[in-house]
Chains A and B, each alone.
Chain A
Amino acid sequence: MTEPVPASPVPIEALKDKGPDKPPRSKWRDVWEQFRKHKGAMVGGAFLLFITLGVLVGPWLWTLDPQALDIRAKDMRPIYTAIWNSEADVGWAHPLGSDQLGRDNLAQLIAGGRASMAVGWAAMLLSLIIGAGIGVVAGYFRKLDGPLMRLTDLFLSLPILPLLLVAVTLFRQPLRANFGPEGGMFILIVTVVGITSWMPTARIVRGDILALKEREFVLAARSIGTRPFQIIKRHLLPNVLSPIMVSATLGLATAIITESALSFLGVGFPSDFPTWGKMLADAVARMEDFPERVMLPGIAISLTVLGVNYLGDGLRDALDPRIRGR
């Protein structure tokens, strides 16, 4: 008689499968934890969210028409001027004052922010789509790599700001005729900024794709007969998401600054349509008497771009697996 063998042998202590202590953590949760450690990025992201929401719901909260002229209430000062100058022309009707035509500064700031943010987001998305598309195609299809990268080099050697100015001054009239003064200008600026700023994204994405497509999981996918388009969509794009997101933030900052610069030089939106850049440009002539009209839009532009840049910095740290967890 031998001893009966137990149905399931007692496992060796050291090899016992204890099971994970904690539930598995998703990648995005790790990213979020790392991102939260970067204070500047949190503040910047929160500020960007605040500005975006502010310009979206602002017109319902502050219902004054930014283009309404009220010549009796012109040249009013912001309400805080009353603290040090009791004779200043202030009033709660225009808490941030009014300009030389009596247009309310707060309403103009909100409307201008709408224009700037809309142009910024749209141009950023356009340049991302072009950049990521060209980068992926150049990285994945070897035949297209050479021509597409030559094209990228060509675009990189174009003088961007002069060309922007040329394009905007040249195509203003036909687009205005077709899409109205504001719509035409919006399309023009977004297109022009988009097609002149996609090159860095394309280069970064191509580099990453070149490295990724030699990895085993792509080989496995190909060996079970996945088509190139599906490989790109399912396996490659999710893996290059982080560099794309980082260059998205940089693109947003550049687009906002470029739009404001064009408005400042007087080739942007039509003159009665407020944007931050144009408010600043209009106010420069009288900034000795009314410095706030330069400061308010200037600070708005700078803080938004600063927030976006910090957000990008934090994202870069959070999305980099070598830094994460340290």
Chain B
Amino acid sequence: MLTYAVRRLVLAIPTLLFISFVIFMLLQLAPGDPMAQVPLTVPPEVKQMMREALGLGEPPLVQYWKWLVQVFWTEPKVLVDWMTSETALFGWLPDTQLYQDELRVISWQTRSPVMEIVLQRIPQTLWVVGMSYIVGVLIALPIGIYSAYRQYSVFDQAGTFITMVGFSIPPFFTGPLLIVIFSVQMGWFPSIYDTTHEVTDWASFKYQLSQMIMPVMVLALQTTAQLSRYMRASMLDNLNQDYVRTARAKGLSEAIVVMVHVLRNSMIPVVTVIALGVPAIFGGAIITENVFKVNGIGQLLITALFANDLPMVMTLTFIFAFLIVLFNLIADILYGLLDPRIRYD
């Protein structure tokens, strides 16, 4: 198991390098010019110097190398400095001061480090999308368990239909639909997510809850639809096994048979599916964030794309790819750990 994990970790490095190279070369083909908005009175040679100041004068391979150095060497140094000076966890360590004013990855839009903007946006995304994922999982598991236990019952048929519908309705339709019904007609929830809102007392907490409920529900519908189908199929596979009959035959109560014996075995594939969905929390909710005006990571990517902010796009896409590779690895290892029948070596 350990050798397998180490081998996968080592394999992940060239994969990530290759992905980042492909994305970088793709972005090199971008037609835009970051100096397009500079007034025409600025002479061309000055514009050329400004381009070179942004790191655009070098050949692509050199640019790629510099980007690699910035992401894998400079940014970790900033991170270590921040951890030893600001956080409580490592604050007792002496301030390392590794970062010596090297050039970090700079956004062309705001001229500030990309990582700082990403860190500003991550809490909103984690709150809304992460919460929706948790809610989705919490709804999906009981539905999947019960509809498998009572296969072909009315509950199962209705559950299958609803998951099918949840599967099919895209979030850019459910989002506006919920806004029309609950913000416009009923007036219960605000249609725009206010990210400047701070939770200080009970009233503001209630407001936070009411502004989160619609985007969370839209995203949770998608998660629920996928996961409950997996859960149901996995439970059905296990309910007909011999060990279930044995457990019943030795007189265990039905609750223990289903909720302990069957559930624990059925959770093995479902846990890996849940792990595989985690990267989408950080980057997948582009459409929902757009509909509800949550200024999270997905919305950041869209605005960066439209503004032709290539360093931002590059770094964000790479972060997504990194998370996907990481959680693929975690899912595979979890599968091996949870299921002793799986041997990787």
Contacts and interface: CB of A to CB of B under 8 A. Distances in A.
Interface in B259-308: 279, 283-284, 286-287, 290-291, 301-302, 305-306
Interface in A263-309: 264-265, 277, 280-281, 284, 287-288, 291, 294-295, 298, 301-303, 305-306, 309
B172 interface: yes
Interface stretch (B22-30, B50-58, B92-100, B141-149): B22-30
B320 A170 contact: no
Contacts, number: 114
Contact of B172 (A165, A170, A261, A288): A261
Chain B interface extent, by class: 35 or more
A163 B23 contact: yes
Contacts of A231: none
B177 A161 contact: no
A260 interface: yes
Nearest to B291: A284
B155 interface: no
Contacts of A166: 23, 26-27, 305, 313, 317
Contact of B283 (A159, A260, A281, A301): A159
A302 B283 contact: no
A180 to B, nearest CB: 18
A306 B253 CA distance: 40
A169 interface: yes
Nearest to B317: A162
A170 B29 contact: yes
A298 B164 contact: no
Interface string A147-175: 00000011011110111011101110110
Contacts of A253: 168
A325 to B, nearest CB: 18
Given A159-B321, A165-B302, A265-B287, A260 B172 contact: yes
Interface in B131-160: none
A317 B23 CA distance: 40
Given A154-B19, A261-B287, A170 B30 contact: yes
B282 to A, nearest CB: 10
Given A264-B287, A288-B184, A310-B164, 19 more contacts: A156-B328, A157-B15, A157-B19, A162-B286, A162-B301, A162-B313, A166-B317, A169-B30, A265-B302, A287-B179, A287-B180, A288-B180, A294-B180, A298-B173, A298-B177, A305-B169, A306-B164, A306-B165, A309-B168
| A-B pairs with lowest CB-CB distance, top 7 | A159-B320, A298-B173, A306-B168, A305-B168, A264-B172, A302-B169, A157-B324
6 contacts: A159-B324, A169-B30, A173-B31, A280-B173, A305-B169, A306-B164
